[in-house]
Amino acid sequence: MKISIIGTGYVGLVCGACLAKKGHDVICVDSQREIADRINNSEAVIFEPYLSEYIGEAVAEGRLLATTDIEYGVASSEISIVCVDTPYKNGSIDLNNVEKAVRDIGRILRIKNPYHVICIKSTVIPSATDTLVKNILEEESGKKAGEFGLVMNPEFLREGEAVTDFMNPNRIVIGAYDDRSYEHFKMVYEGYFETPLLRVSLRTAELIKYASNSLLAMLISYSNEIAAISEAIGGLDAEEVLYGVTLDKRISPQIDGKFIRPEIVKYLKSGRGYGGSCFPKDLRALIAFTESLGYAPKLLRATAEINEMQVGKITDRLEKELNGLEGKKILVLGLAFKQNSDDIRESPAIRLVKLLSEKEAVIYAADPMATEKARKALEGYRGICFLEGYKKTAISFDAAVLMTPWQEYLDFLNEGSSASLKTALLFDGCRALDKYKFNGSGIKYMGVGIS
């Protein structure tokens, strides 16, 4: 099929490259000429495993093209997938980019006669597609919904694993305005992916996205609540408590006497809290939207509040352990919000560096991929030095803090090589290290959920 992708940020670029890999002809539309040129030169403008190879292959084979001309993109395709960002601003979700994209598409549909399907893949609040989006398209095109197709197809991509998730989905949800919309749009996936398609209403598709992210965020905050309780009790480790919880057969079933560990148990883990471009903004947007309907979502609010306290609690524990932070040398390992990504949006590590800077610590920060983005985000904060050779530095640190579990950090620290860091204290903000490795090392191991 001929598909146009409107907006080539994180979701749009992954979507476009993967659909081209599956054999579709894809036109990526972006407002920035530099981004379009880089894609056409086979460059990935974000770091994501396998993405660069997919783009290079698709461009070379003529299945992927980028342009700033939205009229060309829409006119040359059968389906337009809107992937623009929907940030949280001023107490609610900001749909300005969605409005602009669908308004532009509507104007083009006024002069385009063949049936065209518009898909909203951007995360939008329930009712946005069948009211705001539909109304704008009808107004600008002069056509009624049904004369053009309208679907909502949420994405469920994990940064660092987005290409794998897209190519091997465990669910494809299609919210459709009518039968014709669904039948036409399902050809994007049918025959290309083995996963069954779940057809629902437009509003159901929108809420599935929010409900999914809210549940995962809730599990993380639940784990950190248990960690806080464990620290208050003393003499135990929250990770052992949570592991015991996950052995319940309703969570981890047994087959032939062996436990099956489902992916969701990864979210039952204490640590520095969630971050990134999705969980924080989606939870806030759902809370604000729900409250506008007159309902107070207490569980969602508690989830967000627990998460917002998490980095501050790490800072407080460091301050107490070191008898103050002023002038103390702190190594922060990891700046991206998660491993295998260069995304620093809502990164707990960035928040930690800012808090340490405000308390006049001397911060040495390292990350394999996110250093340049972090450098820009931390402009104006004092006492920050970005390290490349953290393994062989001659600096003696008062504390080292693991904030992003990059494999190279785990290998380095778990192998016992951490002694070369010359630090007396290692704080595991991810609970990703083997605490027993540090017995007899001369390094005091601390972590979330251990008093």
Residue 229 located in a structural domain: no
- pLDDT tens digits, one per residue of 34-45: 999 999 999 998
Place of tokens 């829409």: 74
Is residue 71 domain-resident?
yes
What does pTM read for this prediction?
Answer: 0.93
Assign residue 391 a region (left: φ > 0; alpha: ψ between -120 and 50; beta: otherwise). Answer: alpha
Average pLDDT over residues 399-403: 96
Residues 298 and 428 in one domain: yes
pLDDT in tens, 62-92: 999 999 999 999 999 999 999 999 999 999 9
Span 330-348, pLDDT tens digits: 999 999 999 999 999 999 9
Q: Which residue has the tokens 């395709």?
A: 77
Q: Are 237 and 450 in contact (CB under 8 A)?
A: yes
Residue 66 falls inside a structural domain: yes
Quote the mean pLDDT of the chain.
95
Q: 344 and 420, same structural domain?
A: yes
> Given pLDDT bands bounded at 50, 70 and 90, which one contains residue 391?
confident
Q: Reply yes or no on whether 385 is catalytic.
A: no
Residue 107 domain-assigned (yes or no)? yes
236 falls in which pLDDT band (50, 70, 90)?
Answer: very high
Domain of 172, in residue numbers: 2-200
Q: What is the pLDDT of residue 418?
A: 54
Residue range 169-219, pLDDT digits in tens: 999 999 999 999 999 999 999 988 989 899 999 999 999 999 999 999 999
Domain count, the chain: 2
Residue where a domain terminates, one of 148, 176, 200: 200
Please compute the mean of the pLDDT values over residues 382-405 and round it to a whole number: 89
Active-site residue (options: 18, 278, 385, 430): 278
Does 139 share its domain with 268? Answer: no
**120 and 266 share one domain:** no
Tell me, what CATH number does 154's domain have?
3.40.50.720
Same-domain status, 99 and 26: yes
297 and 351 in a single domain? The answer is: yes
Same domain, 188 and 256: no
